[in-house]
Chain A
Amino acid sequence: MSRTRDLAYLFIASEKAERLGLISKIVVPLILLVPAVVPYLIPGAEARPMQPLILIAYELLVLGYVTGVGRVFRMLSLVTLFLGVALALSALSLVLGTGPPDPLYSISWTLRLMSIVLALSVLFQVLTVGEVRYLMMGLGLGWLSEVAAVAIAQLPVVLLSFSEAMVAAVLKLGGRRVSALVKPLVVDAVITSRQVAEALYLHGLPPAPRPTLLRGPLDTYLVLGAVVAAVASILVA
């Protein structure tokens, strides 16, 4: 349950996001994503753990500022899930008979995956629903932007329903049969979506306000910090 709640908070803009302008909210995660993603695209790229570690350190710094240290640690426990998946995929090579993975190689690519997840969570932690809509509308995705806004708004409530259905099903049927949750959650989603449609009919969807592009020196510091972290990570590669 706690995990579900933490997962919900991973996608919700923090209050401190108000202190940042839209440009830095987008540019900072993008700058951090480039050195983390590019090596994936280069065949035979050499793996060095130091490179993603620099990015991760800066990402944690930003997240710590935006959401508070406590929440960063809780989110990190979720990120360990991704680490587990990445390590499991590396270990699969043993089963597939492609030889044992180099431990340094595994650690390096796992950390790289972690830095990508953290960069994306920086993005979600700073962008409000209104800003997501504004950006999507700017990209010509008018209708989709409305769907995205409603989906992001309802995400925490959906996760809460998921948690309740999981407890009930586990105790009723024994074992974690995720497939058993499909029907109650689909029905719940249909009921909720009808209610959302009724609420939208009566309230409408406020037009996405034009966001402030830059708010102050903090924007500059964060962007500069991201540039320094990205350059440093490239230099050590």
Chain B
Amino acid sequence: MGSSSKFSLSSTKPPSLEVKDLWFRYSKSSEWVLRGLSLRLYPGEVALVLGASGSGKTTLLRAITGVGRWIYGGDIRGTVLLGGTPLEDLDIDGIRRSIQVVNQNPYTHFIEHLVGRDLLSAATQLYGEELGYRVFTRVTTALKLEGLLGRRFFELSGGQLRRVAVAKALLWDPKVIVLDEPLMWLDDEGVADVVEAVYVAKSLGKAVLIFEHRFLRLLHLADSVYILRKGVLHEVEHDYLKKLQRFLKLGRALQGGSAVKPSGRLLLLAEDLWFRYDKREDWLLKSLNLEVREGDTTVIYGANGSGKSTLLKILSGYLKPSRGRLELGSRAIYIPQNIYLFFTEESIEKEFEAACRSRKLGRQCVERGVGYLKALGVAVNLEESPFNLSWGQAVRLAVAVATAPSESSVVLLLDEPFTGLTYLERLQVAESLAKLGNTYVITTSNVETLALTPSARVFKLVEGTLEKLEGSLNGGALEAAKLCKALGIEVGLGVEN
């Protein structure tokens, strides 16, 4: 546990956020999620809080904003000071002017569909028409949002969306901005967007608290790093994380993409595929070719909006290509990015039963599925709801459910299965996939995840076509630099360190 008083520049000012001996539990629960947690954050300082799924990161956020008490009816003990004022002495307007949150799902921040209209109406609400317009202009200029103001929020990429959400938070001129898993669902470019937004907030003197699994890309921004474990924050030595960053990025993170020659039975053949949703739009996929053989793992890397999800839906046979030929030699199952949308039943056992029943299979199929689930390291009660599982467990359950009814091969099409997972959970999921030996087509928007599937063939989806990434990608700064160049990534991989 530690405080942040080592930073001489900021320590002369009172902390923007001070948490002392904080305890929190939800209503109807006897278990304390936070157990005597302390934290101090000064103006212009960035703190990064790491922690496994379910460690209480979101609960901490709820406790320090009052959401835990006023929305969830939780029991809170200890002290939360926002700009020196106790949380309980602030009215709702005072809380909003002290602390703002960009939550995991930034879609929920918007009321008006047009970005500019939404931000302007929020600014006008706060400052009146004339001053509101000036504040709106200043904030949108600082975050370089001019090109996004005329667009609808649900048309933006994840990174753009979070940049706009940070702008909305900044309109309040709060002392503290909290970002809850800001890198979730973001591609490498989106990560750069978020990093830039955090820089702007920091330079404006805001204290920034970030909760994130994918911490490597944010480490260079953080003045202090904590791990939330068993309801208590433990400060991590920064130098140690720096070393870890270098090791992960230059060593393991770049071992993916070896030039494996597919040899099994042909299960999926896409030849000269073209696709667009509407005749008046540009082609999303252009003259795309892909061959998937039994036991293959094919990874498709591409930015958000590059057409990866659409490609998976075409490969599954759900969407028809506008032109070209698609041959499916086996069943294909699509596992969506929002993993919980895959489940249709109220218990894990019923998930297996429904999937087996759809193939006219009985108890044996269900037991096979349960066996797969155990082999994948998910030890849960079969009566439990799939919607209560952690993200990583849910991905593995989806794979087991999809595989159980298949006497023969099945092609599993996984849309961003590693998103929302800690580094360790990613490894567990990747190992689980390899263990079942299925045929996989996996999409990803993060170069870091390429290392998780070392025997996969890796393609980059760019401008509607697939480019195979060939050559040795194993370790070393030179290879790392080459890969970064091939993938078009300018920043953030750490090779420049």
Residue among B62, B101, B110 with the most chain A CB within 10 A? B110
Query: Quick check: A172 and B402 within 8 Å, CB to CB?
Result: yes
From the candidates B108, B112, B335, name the one contacting A199 in the complex (CB within 8 A): B108
Chain A 46-78 near chain B by CB (<8 Å), digits 1 or 0: 000000000000000000000000100010000
Q: B107-150 CB contact bits vs A (8 Å, 1 = yes)?
A: 11111111001000110110000000000000000000000001
Interface string of A142-169 (1 = CB under 8 A from B): 0000000110011011001100110111
Assembled-state Cα–Cα distance A162/B183 (Å): 24
Binds A, one of B2-10, B34-42, B342-350, B426-434: B342-350
A153 to B355, CA, bound (A): 35
Q: CB distance A204 to B96 under 8 Å?
A: yes
Are B333's CB and A172's CB within 8 A? yes
The contact size tier of chain A is 35 or more
**CA of A31 to CA of B280 in the docked complex: distance in angstroms?**
32
Q: Would B344 and A172 count as touching, CB distance under 8 A?
A: yes
A173-B355, A184-B340 in contact; A201/B125 too (CB < 8 A)? no
The reply to whether the CB of B289 lies closer than 8 angstroms to some CB of chain A is: no
Q: At the interface, yes or no: B387 with Cβ under 8 Å from chain A?
A: yes
> A174–B358 contact, CB under 8 A?
yes
B111 contacts A129, C-beta separation under 8 Å: yes
- What chain A residues lie within 8 Å of B354 (beta carbons)? 173, 180
Beyond A174-B358, A202-B100, is A130–B318 a contact (Cβ under 8 Å)?
no
Interchain CB contact under 8 A, A201 and B71? yes
Least distance between A129 CB and chain B CB atoms (Å): 5
Q: Is B55 close to A, CB under 8 A?
A: no
**Chain B residues whose CB sits within 8 angstroms of the CB of A170 once the complex forms:** 318
User: Are B105 and A192 within 8 A (Cβ)?
Assistant: yes
- A81-98 interface with B by 8 A CB criterion: none
Residues of B within 8 A of A157 (CB): 107, 154
Query: Which residues of A are found within 8 Å of B71, using beta-carbon distances?
Result: 194, 197-198, 201
B111 to chain A: which residues have CB within 8 Å?
129-130, 149-150, 153, 205-206
Q: Does A196 contact B (CB under 8 A)?
A: yes
> A171 and B113 in contact (CB under 8 A), knowing A183-B344, A199-B108, A206-B125?
no
Where chain A touches its partner, the secondary structure class is: helix
Q: Mark A1-29, 1 if CB is under 8 A from B, else 0.
A: 11001001000110100000000000000
Is B340 in contact with A128, judged by CB distance below 8 angstroms? no
Q: Which of B282-339 contact A (CB under 8 A)?
A: 310, 313, 316, 318-319, 332-338
- Complexed CA–CA distance, A204 and B112 (Å): 13
Q: Check if A181 is an interface residue, CB within 8 A of chain B.
A: yes
Q: Check A103 for interface membership: any CB of B closer than 8 A.
A: no
* Docked-complex contact B121 and A173, CB < 8 angstroms: no
CB pair A168–B103 under 8 Å, yes or no, is no
Q: A202 CA to B101 CA in the complex, in Å?
A: 7
Check B121 against A172 for contact (C-beta < 8 Å): no
- In the bound complex, what is the Cα–Cα distance between A93 and B493 (angstroms)? 68
Which residues on the B side are within 8 Å of A5 (C-beta)? Answer: 277
Contacts of B336 in A (CB 8 A): 164-165, 167-168
Q: Knowing A2-B277, A187-B340, A202-B65 are in contact, say whether A12-B316 is a contact too (CB < 8 A).
A: no
Task: Flag if A161 contacts B150 (CB, 8 Å).
Answer: no
Within the complex, the shortest CB–CB distance from A37 to chain B, in Å, comes to: 28
- Give min CB distance, A23 to chain B, whole Å: 20
Let me know if B125 and A207 touch, CB within 8 A: yes
Q: Is the CB of A195 within 8 A of B154?
A: no
**Chain A proximity of B59: nearest CB distance (Å):** 12
Q: Determine the distance from Cα of A205 to Cα of B310 in the docked complex, in whole angstroms.
A: 35
Q: Is B168 an interface residue (CB 8 A)?
A: yes
Neighbour of A129 across the interface among B62, B105, B113, B337, CB < 8 A: B113
List residues of chain B with CB within 8 A of the CB of A181: 344
Asked if B341 is an interface residue, CB under 8 A from chain A, the answer is yes
> Which residue of the partner chain, among A128, A171, A195, A207, contacts B332 with CB atoms under 8 Å?
A171
**When the two chains form the complex, which single residue of A153, A161, A201, A207 contacts B110, counting CB atoms closer than 8 Å?**
A153
> Which 7 residue pairs across A and B have the least CB separation, nearest first?
A206-B125, A2-B277, A180-B344, A165-B341, A173-B358, A199-B108, A195-B108
New contact pairs (20) apart from A12-B113, A157-B154, CB-CB < 8 Å: A2-B277, A15-B150, A70-B278, A129-B113, A130-B121, A153-B111, A156-B113, A168-B341, A172-B355, A172-B358, A172-B402, A173-B354, A183-B343, A187-B340, A191-B340, A195-B103, A201-B70, A202-B67, A203-B109, A209-B124
User: What are 22 pairs between A and B in contact, CB < 8 Å?
Assistant: A15-B114, A70-B280, A74-B278, A130-B112, A154-B108, A164-B336, A164-B337, A167-B318, A171-B316, A171-B318, A172-B333, A172-B344, A173-B358, A181-B344, A183-B344, A192-B105, A195-B104, A199-B109, A201-B71, A202-B99, A204-B125, A209-B121
